[in-house]
């Protein structure tokens, strides 16, 4: 009598969630949407940033509330806006080959993970993304409106270079297939804005994505007082809040622009392809500029001499 060989265990999929607490209903809705996903084995890494207070006590209840799902809780005791660091903590703690992200107030459809994993398997690509609905809701989490605001019929790295059109929970990566440049702690921890865009730019620079046409994720926006901004304290007035917010966006844009220029310098064609201005410095720009200065002076002198020669020829 022969027995059938054991079925091969499927790779683990990990979803990293970051939170500062304060959204008890939303985070439970988010984790419930992960638990409803059809892929197994599946785990959730919740990275909580904050003190050991009542919110931390609430977060620690989550594993017991979802016994059919592996929920692991990590705490970052650091102060200030450490959103990128929180993502890196989750990235390092996750056990899955496949890794995705979900903010604590957003949700996934049950077929989200199977469709993305199938898309990567069929194409051989290192990452895949699906379409995301934008859903506005009131304080009671009732739907106000719903639109396909992030819809893209095809992927364009040039478009992504200009603006981010992929919410952080739209995509899944195969960590085994990633370029070494983005394998370890891939989120830039100096960024408290655009950290996901910076990561996506480098991910897409090295790897073409597989595109899933189905809508498998929802980006929730509250029309009430709820706010996903982690970086500014509620004690500041509106004018100061706006000023700090503008300064933070400007600083992070400068960091991302510099990193884009440095990345483009790796390929001879990239600067023209991405229409990068020559005044954006890349690595070694100072040395190149200093070496180019004598050549520029020499070329200018040669043009002046040639013009003088042509003038003399006409006179003679």
Residues in the chain: 316
Using alpha carbons, select from 20, 90, 31 the residue that is nearest to residue 55.
20
Task: Answer yes or no: are the C-beta atoms of 9 and 37 closer than 8 Å.
Answer: no
H-helix or E-strand containing 127? strand 127-137
Flag whether pLDDT at 279 surpasses 50. no
Q: Confidence class of residue 232 from pLDDT cuts 50, 70 and 90? A: very low
Task: Answer yes or no: are the C-beta atoms of 159 and 165 closer than 8 Å.
Answer: yes
pLDDT cut 90: percent of the chain above it: 65
- What's the whole-number mean pLDDT along residues 8-17? 93
* pLDDT tens figures, 50-103: 999 999 999 999 999 999 999 999 999 999 999 999 999 999 999 999 999 999
* Lookup result for tokens 């509330």: 65
Backbone angles phi, psi at 60, to 5 degrees: -70, -10
Backbone angles phi, psi at 292, to 5 degrees: -80, -25
Whole-number Å distance between alpha carbons of 102 and 19: 10
Residues with Cβ < 8 Å from 249, sequence gap 6 or more? Answer: 193
Beta bridge partners, 93, equal none
The two three-digit tokens of residue 155, written as one number: 């992927």
Task: Answer yes or no: are the C-beta atoms of 183 and 98 closer than 8 Å.
Answer: no
H-helix or E-strand containing 267? none
Backbone angles phi, psi at 14, to 5 degrees: -120, 140
Residues with Cβ < 8 Å from 139, sequence gap 6 or more? Answer: 222, 224, 225, 226
Which of 211-225, 239-253, 278-292 is the least confident region? 278-292
Whole-number Å distance between alpha carbons of 125 and 173: 9
**pLDDT on residue 97:** 98
> Taking the alpha carbons of 86, 92, 95, 96 in that order, is the dihedral positive or negative?
positive
* pLDDT tens figures, 100-155: 999 999 999 999 999 999 999 999 999 999 999 999 999 989 888 999 988 887 89
Across 237-270, b (16+ Cβ under 10 Å) vs e yields eeeeeeeeeeebeeebeebbeebbbebbbeeeeb
Of residues 231 and 69, which shows the higher confidence score? 69
List alpha helices for the chain, DSSP H: 24-35, 54-59, 62-65, 83-93, 112-123, 157-162, 195-206, 238-264, 270-273, 285-315
**In whole angstroms, how large is the CA radius of gyration of the chain?**
25
* Lookup result for tokens 């979803």: 15
The two three-digit tokens of residue 287, written as one number: 């040395």
- What's the whole-number mean pLDDT along residues 8-15? 92
* Lookup result for tokens 């952080």: 168
* pLDDT tens figures, 37-47: 999 999 999 99
Residues with Cβ < 8 Å from 3, sequence gap 6 or more? Answer: none
Counts of helices then strands in the chain (DSSP H, E): 10, 9
């Amino acid at each position: 009598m022969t027995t059938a060989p054991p079925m091969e265990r499927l790779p683990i999929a990990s979803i990293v969630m970051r939170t500062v607490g304060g959204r008890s209903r939303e985070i439970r809705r988010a984790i419930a949407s992960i638990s409803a996903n059809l892929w197994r084995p599946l785990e959730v890494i919740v990275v909580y940033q904050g003190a050991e207070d009542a919110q931390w006590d609430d977060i620690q209840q989550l594993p017991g509330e979802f016994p059919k799902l592996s929920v692991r809780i990590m705490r970052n005791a650091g102060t200030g806006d450490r959103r990128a660091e929180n993502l890196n903590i989750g990235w390092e703690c996750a056990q899955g080959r496949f890794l995705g992200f979900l903010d604590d107030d957003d949700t996934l459809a049950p077929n989200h993970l199977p469709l993305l994993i199938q898309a990567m398997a069929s194409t051989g690509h290192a990452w895949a993304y699906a379409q995301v609905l934008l859903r506005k809701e009131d304080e009671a989490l009732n739907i106000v409106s719903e639109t396909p605001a992030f819809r893209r019929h095809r992927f364009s790295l040039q478009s992504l270079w200009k603006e981010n059109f992929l919410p952080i929970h739209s995509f899944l990566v195969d960590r085994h297939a990633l370029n070494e440049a983005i394998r370890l702690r891939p989120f830039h921890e100096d960024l408290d804005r655009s950290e996901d865009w910076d990561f996506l730019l480098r991910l897409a620079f090295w790897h073409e994505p597989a595109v899933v046409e189905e809508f498998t994720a929802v980006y929730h926006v509250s029309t009430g007082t709820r706010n996903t901004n982690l970086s500014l304290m509620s004690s500041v007035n509106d004018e100061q809040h706006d000023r700090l917010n503008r300064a933070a966006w400007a600083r992070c844009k400068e960091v991302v622009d510099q990193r884009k220029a440095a990345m483009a310098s790796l390929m001879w064609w990239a600067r023209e392809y991405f229409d990068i201005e020559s005044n954006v410095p890349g690595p070694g720009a100072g040395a190149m500029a200093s070496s180019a200065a004598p050549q520029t002076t020499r070329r200018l002198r040669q043009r002046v001499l040639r013009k003088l020669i042509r003038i003399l020829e006409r006179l003679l």
